[in-house]
């Protein structure tokens, strides 16, 4: 994974451990503010939906639950991770060259390009073509690979489906037509990104309305890019209005995480990079933290937040707090505090079952805003993307292929893959290339093959190595040359008696061919009887060829004839 993903992932895991520890320390199983059935999840009072989550479909699957990992587990895990820098090429086992290319989904999120001696492979996961915070989807680096594996399932839930079960074409992007080089520009239109900004602006307006009415807002979204943009937009919105509403970010890793996002400009969009170049912070939250308009606290029970004469806490307020599951972290306490206030607002991300998540907090009077943010490639753009990338083989999930027509892409082999099923992908490169240095190639004595005149062959004493994803020849040629010994010829193939006899006749050696049959009547072996100038015989069988004569000159001439018949070096 990328170094940025590894760092952010480690911080998020450490935050979960911290939240779990705090929850057990301050609340535990005896908190009376929760419904009574929370203490006994096997009782009849527990809602059926929650029972299904806890015990599984069969009702006896509690054993599948595992204890939460610890800080030691996280440390041990991260030691096994090899982080990849932006645009860095990493060699694995001398065989594969792996490179991370920005996917645009979030800071540090990437797709993969893998090159090896047997071909190239690209892996495309959830991606966004144009982003307002992260570096946009770098699809140019994935062009013309041998195999493209597509694993973006994000758009399946929101896709518009026609009566025949396929995605309806976008009127602004006729992807059924022949794809031209100009169509790559349609992938980079800003329509999707502008729609995302409108959603973020709507969240800000709802939070401002709640604050104006005297209610607080709890935002449980944890996608880093969304949080950074909301912090910036909310702060700017409140600064330009008459509302004096504090913004709190409650997380054990908030300070480190927000500071870290300003140290990785290579993973940010061009607009953010330009800000850094001009001397401004890449994200506006740094200014508002410095001006005490955004407050960072590691936990809800931190000194100077709620205690110490309430020096920082003020309501109404806007709070960013984990966990999105509403089962641990500051979100649990704050939801308990505001659930009965109809003026307050809870912001959730789409994909979370609000009915299930809010079960322990019912009855709830808060307003609930569930937001759906772009988290992948829209299916309408998939045919255009594949036609621009031009892989030789395109691997697509069957669930995706059933929802969109890819028939227009006729120049590409399309294979469906299924969950838990092996898919055999045909080999693209049958004969991998081998690198030979110019100096080494000039020292080789090439000999053309008689049976295949377009091929040449040479002998080399050395080894075949795999380095940086390429086959390389390493030679010991200098040692052989210094020894001064001539290398004996090596031949291959079967000697045809007729061809050998013709070669001997040209050298003045006369003979005849005798076919010997075995017990079953089939031809067992062939014999050439040498009659002039000296006698001898040459016996051919499946085991080999034997030369029998008392004259060394005849033997030498026979070897010379064989050299003229067979390929050898």
Residues β-bridged to residue 394: 148, 414
- What would the mean pLDDT of 207-224 be, rounded to a whole number? 94
435-471 pLDDT tens trace: 888 878 787 777 777 767 777 788 777 778 888 888 8
Entry pTM: 0.76
Q: Is the pLDDT of residue 227 over 90?
A: yes
Structure confidence at residue 367 (pLDDT): 95
| 404 cis-preceded (ω within 30 degrees of 0) | no
Rounded CA separation 391/139 (Å): 12
- Mean pLDDT: which of 206-210, 236-240, 351-355, 498-502 is highest? 206-210
Main-chain phi, psi angles of 407, to 5 degrees? -65, -25
* 434-465: b (≥16 Cβ within 10 Å) or e: eebeeebeeebeeeeeeeeeeeeeeebeeeee
pLDDT of residue 154: 84
The DSSP bridge pattern shows strands 294-297 and 247-250 to be: parallel
pLDDT score, position 32: 53
pLDDT at 102: 95
Query: Residues near 271 by Cβ (< 8 Å), separated by ≥ 6?
Result: 132
Higher-confidence residue of 208 and 566: namely: 208
Q: How far apart are CA 79 and CA 459, in angstroms?
A: 46
Using the predicted structure, report yes or no on whether residue 412 has a pLDDT greater than 90: no
**229: closest CA among 193, 256, 263, 264?**
193
pLDDT of residue 50: 72
Nearest to 377 by CA among 146, 86, 148: 148
Q: Residue 231's pLDDT is what? A: 94
> What is the reported pLDDT for 75?
95
469, 91 Cβ separation under 8 angstroms: yes
pLDDT of residue 166: 44
pLDDT tens-digit readout, 144-193: 999 999 999 887 765 444 444 444 434 333 333 333 345 556 677 778 88
Domain boundaries, the chain: 3-187+376-417, 192-371, 434-483, 491-568
**CA atoms of 174 and 172, how far apart (whole Å):** 6
Over residues 523-528, mean pLDDT: 77
**What is the rounded CA–CA span in Å between residue 521 and residue 39?**
90
**Among the listed ranges 74-78, 306-310, 499-503, 511-515, which one has the minimum average pLDDT value?**
306-310
The pLDDT value recorded for residue 235 is 92
Question: How much is the average pLDDT of 368-388?
Answer: 89
Q: In 10 A of CB 299, how many CB atoms?
A: 18
Summarised one tens digit per residue, pLDDT across range 113-126 is: 999 888 899 999 99
The tally of CA atoms less than 13 A away on the side-chain side of residue 20 is: 12
Q: Residues of the chain with pLDDT > 70: what percent?
A: 84
pLDDT band of residue 71 (cuts 50, 70, 90) is: very high
Q: Percent of the chain having pLDDT more than 90?
A: 37
Say which residue, 190 or 373, is predicted with more confidence: 373
Residue 18 CB coordination number (10 Å): 19
Distance of CA 435 to the CA centre of its chain: 29
Separation of alpha carbons 2 and 99, rounded Å: 10
Q: What is the mean pLDDT of residues 430-434?
A: 77
- Cα(110)–Cα(562) distance, integer angstroms: 61
| Fold exhibited by the domain 3-187+376-417 | Metallo-beta-lactamase; Chain A (3.60.15)
CATH class of 192-371: alpha beta
| Listed range (2-16, 152-166, 320-334) with the worst mean pLDDT | 152-166
SS3 210: helix
pLDDT of residue 522: 60
Rounded CA-CA distance 356/52 in Å is: 11
Residue 272 or residue 484, greater confidence: 272
**Closest by CA position to 316, among listed 212, 216, 205, 204:** 216
Highest mean pLDDT, choosing among 167-171, 518-522, 526-530: 526-530
Q: Is 218 helix (H, G, I), strand (E, B) or coil?
A: strand
Does 220 have pLDDT greater than 80? yes
Angle subtended at Cα 282 by Cα 277 and Cα 285, rounded to the nearest 5 degrees: 145
Question: Torsion over CA of 167, 168, 174 and 177, rounded to 10 degrees?
Answer: 60
pLDDT score recorded for residue 180: 39
Average pLDDT score over residue span 393-402: 90
Strand order in the sheet with 318-321: 294-297, 247-250, 318-321, 217-219, 345-349, 367-371
30: three-class secondary structure by DSSP: helix
Segment 486-514 shows an average pLDDT of 79
Q: Express each pLDDT in 23-70 by its tens digit.
A: 777 666 555 566 665 566 666 767 777 777 777 666 666 656 778 899
pLDDT at 165: 43
CB 509 within 8 A of CB 557: yes
> What's the chain's average pLDDT?
82
Which residues are bridge partners to 547 per DSSP?
Answer: 538
């Amino acid at each position: 994974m990328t170094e940025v993903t590894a760092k952010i992932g480690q911080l998020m895991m450490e935050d979960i451990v911290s939240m779990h520890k705090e929850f057990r320390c301050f609340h535990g199983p005896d908190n009376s503010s929760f419904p009574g059935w929370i203490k006994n999840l096997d009782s009849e009072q527990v809602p059926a939906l929650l029972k299904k989550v806890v015990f599984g479909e069969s009702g006896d699957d509690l054993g599948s639950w595992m204890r939460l990992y610890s800080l030691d587990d996280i440390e041990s895990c991260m030691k096994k991770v090899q982080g990849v820098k932006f645009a860095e090429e990493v060699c694995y086992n001398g065989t594969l060259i792996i490179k991370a290319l920005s996917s645009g989904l979030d800071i540090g999120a990437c797709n993969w390009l893998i090159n090896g001696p047997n071909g190239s492979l690209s892996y495309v996961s959830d991606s966004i073509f144009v982003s307002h915070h992260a570096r946009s989807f770098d699809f140019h680096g994935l062009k013309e690979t041998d195999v493209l594996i597509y694993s973006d399932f994000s758009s399946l839930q929101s896709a518009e489906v026609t009566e025949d079960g396929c995605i309806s074409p976008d009127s602004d992007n006729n992807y059924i037509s022949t794809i031209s080089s100009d169509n790559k520009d349609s992938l980079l239109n800003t329509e999707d990104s502008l729609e995302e900004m409108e959603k973020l602006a709507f969240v800000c307006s709802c939070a401002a309305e709640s604050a104006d009415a005297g209610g607080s807002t709890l935002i449980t979204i944890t996608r880093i890019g969304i949080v950074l943009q909301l912090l910036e937009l909310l702060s700017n919105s409140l600064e330009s209005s008459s509302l004096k509403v504090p913004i709190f970010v409650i997380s054990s890793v908030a300070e480190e995480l927000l500071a870290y996002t300003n140290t990785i400009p290579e993973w940010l969009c061009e607009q953010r990079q330009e800000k850094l170049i001009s001397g401004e912070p890449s994200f506006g939250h740094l200014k508002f933290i410095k001006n005490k308009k955004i407050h960072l606290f590691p936990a809800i029970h931190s000194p100077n937040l709620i205690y110490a004469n309430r020096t920082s806490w003020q309501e109404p307020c806007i709070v960013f707090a984990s966990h999105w599951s509403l089962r641990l972290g500051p979100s649990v306490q704050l939801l308990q505090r505001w659930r009965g206030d109809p003026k307050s607002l809870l912001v959730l991300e789409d994909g979370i079952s609000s009915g299930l998540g809010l079960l322990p907090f019912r009855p709830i009077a808060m307003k609930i805003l569930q937001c759906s943010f772009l988290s992948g490639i829209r299916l309408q753009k998939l045919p255009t993307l594949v036609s621009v990338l031009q892989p030789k083989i395109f691997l697509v999930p069957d669930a995706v292929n059933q929802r969109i027509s890819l028939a227009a892409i006729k120049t590409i082999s399309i294979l469906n893959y299924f969950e838990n099923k092996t898919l055999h992908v045909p080999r693209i490169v049958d004969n991998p290339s081998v690198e030979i240095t110019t100096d080494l190639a000039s020292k080789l004595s090439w000999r053309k093959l008689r049976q295949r005149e377009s091929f040449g062959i040479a002998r080399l004493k050395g080894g075949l190595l795999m380095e940086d994803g390429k086959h390389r020849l390493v030679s010991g040629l200098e040692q052989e040359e210094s020894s001064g010994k001539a290398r004996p010829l090596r031949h291959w193939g079967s000697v045809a008696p007729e061809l050998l006899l013709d070669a001997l006749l040209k050298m003045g050696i006369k003979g005849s061919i005798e076919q010997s049959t075995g017990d079953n009547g089939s031809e067992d072996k062939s014999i050439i009887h040498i009659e002039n100038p000296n006698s001898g015989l040459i016996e051919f069988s499946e085991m080999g060829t034997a030369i029998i004569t008392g004259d060394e000159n005849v033997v030498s001439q026979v070897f010379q004839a064989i050299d003229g018949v067979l390929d050898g070096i």
